Chain A
Amino acid sequence: MRRARIAFGDRVVAHDLTLEFPAGRTTCVLGRSGVGKTSLLRWLAGLLPDTERAEPVAYMAQRDLLLPWLSILDNVLLGYRLRADQAALKTAEPRARSLLAEVGLDDRRADRPEALSAGMRQRAALARTLCEDRSVVLMDEPFGHLDAVTRFELQDLAARLLANRTVVLVTHDPLEALRLGHQVRVLAGTPFVVGPPIEPPGSVPRDPSDPALLGLQGRLIAQLRSAPESPS
């Protein structure tokens, strides 16, 4: 994306923004609450008024957004149902089933979402996102309101399933960014500026007990805290 400007009325969130997201890699965008991470993601998804998105995307939000009247399997196939392409829907169904098996919901595909726990629902949302088979995957704090252990397990699962996809994941959790991102970018300031890419060593998902990772986490937190107010 180049020379983008994101604004709500008079409030400019970012201007003259040029960002590159490496293909086939996961880029984690880290920032404090309210800095404009979600706006950036929504801009990329073409969800802000008067914007066109550059590429087809699959979008995963903080909430699972499963439709309560559809079964888990039909929720995973939602994109194909909405596009009303019967042939594509037929070919996508086996993939939806195998994705559900991969996220461990093989035996729950006929259930309605309300019968599932929060962690299971988020796994179903992950399967729905992957079933879309789009070139770019956008994730907005996808594990934000899960408990620590469930979040940890889902990060592992996501890292495995998202391998070789172009992923932009925004989060306010430095550890999550360091575990999942091939590349981490820090967002700070009003309007925000994007820090240089940080590439932690090792392959994802990284071990959270790795001392190198913990050292990096400390530096990221310091960077988030001392972010200079950029001139507007």
Chain B
Amino acid sequence: MRPLITAIGLLLAWEALTWATGVPGYILPPPSRVAVVMVERFDLLIEQAAWTAAEMILGLVLGLILGAALAVVFAASAGWRRWALPLVIVSQAIPVIAIAPLLVLWLGYGMASKVAMAALVIFFPVVSALYDGLRRTEQGWLDLAHTMDAGPGAVLLQIRLPAALPAFASGARIAAAVAPIGAVIGEWVGASAGLGFLMTQSLARGQTPLAFAALVLLCLLGLALYQATDWAARRLVPWQLPQGE
């Protein structure tokens, strides 16, 4: 309830500010104007939002799968870890925004470059969270499995991996929070559809209220994506890991 009151208060203050200062609508439109545009251009906005949502979700799924697969490979094989882990870390040192034009050049103005972009942004938190989880398996469980003559594959699949799921879940939550960044940067650099594309287009044409409307939808999309991931993570990991002693 309190966040809602705060939000309404801020919106009223913003509205009052635009009326009091008489700032032109193309610089800072009042919230009421943004709301009107949202209703008037509803079809366009939903169409673009659906496009961006598809990019985010595909990017998130792709990044989660790739990140999880790589973390498991790193945990299972020291050789792969030694060769590939430095590369993964170096890849994160390159600012994403610097690779965006290259991805658009290689993958085109369509959805593929944005999906790749989002996957690239979220892949690292997933790898590092899951790999960390796989390395920190409770020693007692590993000892127990050893006395039971379990092979390394069975230990990985039946003990280390489930034990690392809480870590994976927190990696996935971070991934869901940053996935919109990847998709939107991709759209800014070069796109033919999406909310980020709509923002750049409408700002260039002085249709600032429309850009704000797109921003509001982007915000809602990000929140929905995070909530959905959080819900899925809770379903995936219903147990509590024992506290370290």
Contacts and interface: CB of A to CB of B under 8 A. Distances in A.
Interface of A: 42, 45-47, 56-59, 61, 63, 65, 67-69, 78-79, 81-84, 112, 114, 132, 138
A65 B141 contact: yes
Interface string B134-148: 000010110111111
B162 A69 contact: yes
Given A59-B147, A67-B162, 5 more contacts: A42-B143, A63-B245, A68-B241, A79-B149, A82-B159
A83 B154 contact: yes
28 contacts: A45-B146, A46-B146, A59-B143, A59-B144, A61-B140, A63-B245, A65-B138, A65-B140, A65-B141, A65-B144, A67-B159, A67-B163, A68-B240, A68-B241, A68-B242, A78-B145, A78-B148, A79-B149, A79-B150, A81-B154, A81-B158, A82-B150, A82-B151, A82-B155, A82-B158, A83-B154, A114-B239, A114-B240
A56 B145 CA distance: 13
A79 B148 contact: yes
Contacts of A45: 143, 146-147
Nearest to B159: A67
Contact of B143 (A61, A83, A84): A61
A147 B149 CA distance: 32
Given A67-B159, A82-B154, A46 B140 contact: no
Contacts of B155: 82
Contacts of B145: 78, 82
Contacts of A114: 239-240
Contacts of B138: 65
B148 A132 contact: yes
Contacts of A65: 138, 140-141, 144
A67 B161 CA distance: 12
Contacts of B148: 78-79, 82-83, 132
A112 B154 contact: no
B238 to A, nearest CB: 8
A56 B159 CA distance: 21
Contacts of A47: 143, 146-147
Nearest to A82: B150
Interface string B156-167: 001100110100
Contacts of A138: 147
B150 A58 contact: no
- Top 10 nearest A-B pairs (CB, nearest first) are A82-B150, A79-B148, A68-B239, A59-B147, A65-B140, A82-B154, A69-B162, A65-B144, A45-B147, A82-B148
Nearest to B154: A82
A81 B145 CA distance: 10
B233 to A, nearest CB: 14
Contacts of A68: 239-242
Contacts of A63: 140, 242, 245
A52 to B, nearest CB: 12
